[in-house]
Amino acid sequence: MSDFLTGVAFFLIIEGLVYALAPRLLVRMAKLLPDIPEGQLRLSGLVAIAFGVALVWLLRG
Decide if 34 contacts 26 (C-beta within 8 A): no
The pLDDT, as a whole number, for residue 13 is: 96
Mean pLDDT of residues grouped by 10 in the chain (61 residues)? 90 94 94 96 96 91 80
How big, in percent rounded to 5, are the helix, strand and coil portions of the chain? 90, 0, 10
At 55 the pLDDT is 92
Q: How much is the pLDDT for 61?
A: 80
Q: 41 to each of 13, 22, 34, 38, 49, how far by Cα in Å?
A: 23, 22, 10, 5, 12
What's the confidence (pLDDT) of residue 56? 87
Give pLDDT, residue 2: 86
Alpha-carbon distance values, 23 to 8, 31, 47, 58 (Å): 21, 13, 25, 33
